[in-house]
């Protein structure tokens, strides 16, 4: 298998190839004055190729360049084409919320599948619905060991693991099992009079004086995490850690998180956007991805 980095690779490709003892290469890339992408591939002798890229920021260009790559490799009779895209853009649009709305996550995966992509490896896919609908294409790698080791080594006891909503419970449950700890799920309620979102812990749970670890998949504007942090502060939590797979940090999210009282935000190297801040720490998920590939694809 050849590991081949596309222009939007967030830095996983070379290390992945080293860990798996595979040949590594990159494409020649430029952007024409009118904004169109140009890609040229190296000569490929392998019959299996793992493309490495991500889809944030500039998600539209990254996804289109993946389509170009699949098309070229198919035309050259490469037998098996894989893609590692640790963050899949549009995955939050996984159903028709309003009539005649485009389900963009589904559309993107349909195109990949129809073009001949064998497997798409994603780190912590937001949509369980898309994962189930495209179970023959999508491999969802949850960063359980990466997050679990961080908590074990860096978070002082006593602490509690928190799922910010029901959708995050599966992820947090697996981390809790790795650490042999319990976890709780935040209740999310909407005030019928004001429309304000209210967060609540189970009534019998006391977090006063203990550390709280919130685990989620995406930090975008930071609004949800900020609201939960303020609530935990009001309940007397000591230090508050936020672990998320994908740090998009849109707009004023960093200041919003800091103002809420978060002590540390920990995200993975799944996107091509990094903030330099004492509040943020980045973890490398490459080892966990390599372990999956070694056990299941090589």
C-beta separation of 27 from 53 below 8 A? no
> How far is it, in rounded angstroms, from Cα 269 to Cα 262?
20
H/E element holding 39? strand 37-40
Query: Among all residues, which ones are annotated catalytic?
Result: 188
Backbone φ and ψ for 121, nearest 5 degrees, come out as -95, 125
Residues 6+ apart with CB under 8 A from 80: 47, 48, 49, 118
Residues 6+ apart with CB under 8 A from 253: 219, 220, 221, 222
Helices then strands, counting H and E runs in the chain, come out as 9, 16
Length of the chain: 298
Q: Residue 169 is encoded by which pair of tokens?
A: 């419970």
């Amino acid at each position: 298998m050849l590991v081949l980095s596309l222009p939007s690779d967030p830095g996983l490709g070379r290390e992945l190839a080293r860990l798996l003892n595979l040949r590594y290469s990159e494409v020649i890339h430029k952007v024409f004055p009118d904004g169109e992408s140009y890609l040229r591939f190296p000569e490929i002798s392998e019959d299996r190729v793992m493309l490495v890229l991500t889809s944030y920021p500039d998600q539209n260009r990254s996804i289109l360049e993946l389509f170009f790559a699949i098309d070229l490799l198919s035309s050259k009779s490469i037998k098996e084409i894989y893609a590692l895209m640790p963050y899949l853009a549009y995955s939050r649009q996984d159903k028709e919320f309003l009539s005649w709305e485009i389900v963009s996550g589904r559309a993107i995966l349909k195109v990949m599948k129809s073009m001949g992509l064998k497997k798409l490896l994603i780190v912590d896919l937001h949509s369980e619905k898309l994962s189930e609908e495209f179970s023959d294409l999508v491999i969802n790698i949850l960063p359980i060991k990466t997050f679990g080791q961080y908590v074990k080594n860096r978070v002082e006891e006593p602490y509690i693991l928190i799922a910010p909503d029901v959708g995050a419970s599966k992820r947090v449950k697996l981390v809790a099992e790795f650490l042999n700890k319990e976890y709780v799920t935040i209740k999310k309620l909407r005030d019928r009079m004001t429309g304000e979102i209210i967060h609540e812990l189970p009534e019998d749970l006391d977090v006063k004086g203990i550390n709280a670890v919130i685990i989620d998949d995406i930090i975008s504007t930071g609004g949800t995490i900020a609201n939960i942090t303020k609530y935990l502060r009001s309940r007397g939590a000591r230090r508050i850690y936020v672990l998320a797979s994908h740090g998009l940090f849109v707009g004023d999210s960093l200041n919003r998180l800091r103002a809420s009282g978060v002590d540390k935000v920990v995200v993975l190297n799944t996107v091509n956007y990094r903030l330099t801040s004492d509040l943020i720490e980045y973890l490398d998920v490459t080892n966990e991805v390599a372990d999956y590939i070694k056990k299941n694809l090589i």
